């Protein structure tokens, strides 16, 4: 799929922008704080319904204005999607796809698939399990909106269960009904995660092998908080989950919080048997994330039948020549939006299919 055009009104530092995109490589060049990332943010918003930089929609509205408008025209193999978002200062945002207003944010997912690679993604490797869960949830939600719905349900049940535990901390409490609900929906999340991680792990291993000329083996492993076996069915997982909730009941009462479940899952990244977070060099960590991102492209292609749009925010110039070449090789069939402060470090001389844009103070023109 490709984005044909983008229109912004009062979005971040763009008062008015109408942009035609190239079907392959689009490079946005500009000094710091000119509005390069804002363009990627608008695209991300049209795909996911949220920003990757802020949880407050209001921050994306041009200061002192009341509404921001974002329109993205997506061309897919057999149909087109016209996505429109209106962010409002004092009420919820409105989203339309092909003129039809959406009732829930989840309905937007899948209309435009994207993969974002930004310096922040190193957090997936370097920081706590919450970052890795955010990654898993974001990726699965894009290809399986049912997962997004289940995840929201799970979080609601979890929140209420935690409230009860906290309120009755140290006291006896009957949680049977809550446990049943948590285990039911939690088991389905675990199955989705197990399958997704299995698939992305295979693809990322292949990518990483190629990028490192076969020297490094990247393994990604699902560390489920609930004890599961490889071929457990959803029902077996549900039963196991319930058992663990019962076993940890006393501890939960003491601590006033839910101790078992997908909200405590994690991922392990190993290179040649060593944990990347602890033993990997900066370069290895960056390459592991690159492999993961390339794997995502392939996984989405396998799932929806088309490559997603790739957003590279300020990461290209951080890669060495070999890795840039590997990346560009993989992008032959993928529409890509790249931001950079300088063109020189980018190894793109041999890439014919491209458009260069110059970004200055919320205006975009041809790069001359
Ligand atoms: N709501 C807003 N209204 C008006 N301007 C805004 C708003 N939010 C951000 N900006 C402006 O947008 C600019 C930052 O844009 P952006 O984050 O896209 O920078 P960038 O070109 O990617 O820079 P860098 O290379 O530093 O990452 C800043 O000048 C900032 O003041």
Residue to substitute in 34, 45, 63, 316 for testing ligand 1 pocket (most ligand atoms within 8 angstroms of CB): 34
Q: Which of 70, 23, 65 is nearest to 50 (CA)?
A: 70
31 is in an annotated binding site: yes
CA-proximal residue: ligand 1, atom 8 (nearest): 12
Indicate whether 70 and 206 sit together in one domain. Answer: no
Domain ranges, residue 323: 1-113+306-367
Q: Is the CB of 317 under 6 A from ligand 1?
A: no
Residue 325 lies in a domain: yes
DSSP states along 222-262: EE-SS---TT--HHHHHHHHHHHHHHTHHHHHHHTS--SSG
Q: Is the CB of 12 under 6 A from ligand 1?
A: yes
- The pLDDT score that the predictor gives to residue 202 is 98
Indicate whether 298 and 332 sit together in one domain. Answer: no
Q: Could you tell me the strand order of the sheet in which 2-11 lies?
A: 14-20, 2-11, 67-75, 80-88, 94-97, 100-101
pLDDT in tens, 266-304: 999 999 999 999 999 998 999 999 999 999 999 999 999
Residue to substitute in 11, 28, 29, 33 for testing ligand 1 pocket (most ligand atoms within 8 angstroms of CB): 33
Indicate whether 172 and 245 sit together in one domain. Answer: yes
Helix/strand/coil for 313 = strand
List, in sequence order, the alpha helices (H) in 59-128.
122-126
Residue 219 lies in a domain: yes
pLDDT in tens, 48-76: 999 999 999 999 999 999 999 999 999 99
Indicate whether 342 and 260 sit together in one domain. Answer: no
Domain endpoint, select from 266, 289, 305: 305
- The pLDDT score that the predictor gives to residue 234 is 97
Q: Quote the CA–CA distance of 51 and 278 in Å, as a whole number.
A: 30
Q: What is the ipTM of this complex?
A: 0.98
- The pLDDT score that the predictor gives to residue 317 is 80
What total of structural domains would you count in the chain?
2
Indicate whether 54 and 88 sit together in one domain. Answer: yes
Q: Quote the CA–CA distance of 209 and 211 in Å, as a whole number.
A: 6
Domain endpoint, select from 261, 284, 305: 305
Q: Is the CB of 62 under 6 A from ligand 1?
A: yes
Q: What is the pTM of this model?
A: 0.94
Tell which atom from ligand 1 comes closest to the C-alpha of 35.
18
Residue 359 lies in a domain: yes
Q: How confident is the model at residue 351 (pLDDT cuts 50, 70, 90)?
A: confident
Q: How confident is the model at residue 108 (pLDDT cuts 50, 70, 90)?
A: very high
Q: What is the mean pLDDT of residues 134-151?
A: 95
347 pLDDT higher than 90: no
Indicate whether 314 and 241 sit together in one domain. Answer: no
């Amino acid at each position: 799929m490709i984005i044909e055009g983008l229109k912004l009104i009062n979005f971040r530092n763009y008062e008015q922008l109408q942009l035609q995109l190239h079907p392959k490589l689009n490079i946005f060049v500009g000094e710091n704080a000119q509005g390069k990332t804002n363009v990627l943010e608008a695209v991300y918003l049209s795909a996911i319904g949220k920003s990757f930089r802020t949880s407050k929609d209001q921050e994306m509205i041009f200061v002192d204005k009341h509404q921001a408008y974002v329109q993205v025209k997506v061309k897919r193999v057999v149909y087109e999607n016209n996505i429109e978002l209106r962010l409002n200062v004092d009420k919820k945002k409105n989203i339309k796809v092909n003129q039809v207003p959406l009732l829930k944010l989840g309905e937007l997912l899948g209309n435009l698939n994207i993969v974002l690679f930004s310096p922040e993604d190193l957090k997936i490797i370097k920081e706590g399990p919450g970052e890795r869960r955010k990654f898993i949830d974001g990726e699965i939600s894009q290809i399986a909106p049912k997962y997004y719905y289940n995840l929201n349900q799970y979080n609601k049940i979890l929140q209420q269960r935690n409230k009860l535990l906290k309120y009755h901390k140290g006291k006896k409490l009957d949680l049977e009904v809550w446990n049943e609900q948590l285990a039911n929906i939690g088991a389905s999340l675990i199955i989705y995660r197990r399958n997704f991680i299995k698939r992305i792990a295979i693809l990322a291993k292949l990518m990483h092998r190629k990028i490192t000329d076969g020297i490094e083996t990247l393994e990604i492993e699902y560390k489920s908080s609930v004890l599961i076996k490889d071929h457990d069915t959803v029902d077996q997982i549900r039963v196991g989950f319930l058992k663990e909730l019962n076993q940890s009941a006393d501890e939960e009462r003491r601590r006033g919080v839910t101790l078992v479940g997908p909200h405590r899952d994690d991922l392990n990244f190993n290179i040649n048997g060593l944990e990347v977070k602890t033993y990997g060099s900066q370069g290895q960590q960056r390459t592991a994330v690159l492999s993961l991102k390339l794997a995502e492209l392939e996984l989405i292609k396998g799932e929806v039948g088309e490559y997603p749009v790739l957003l590279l925010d300020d990461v290209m110039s951080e890669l060495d020549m070999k890795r840039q070449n590997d990346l560009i090789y993989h992008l032959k069939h993928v529409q890509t939006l790249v931001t950079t402060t300088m063109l020189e470090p980018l190894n793109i001389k041999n890439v014919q299919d491209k458009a260069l844009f110059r970004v200055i103070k919320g205006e975009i023109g041809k790069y001359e």
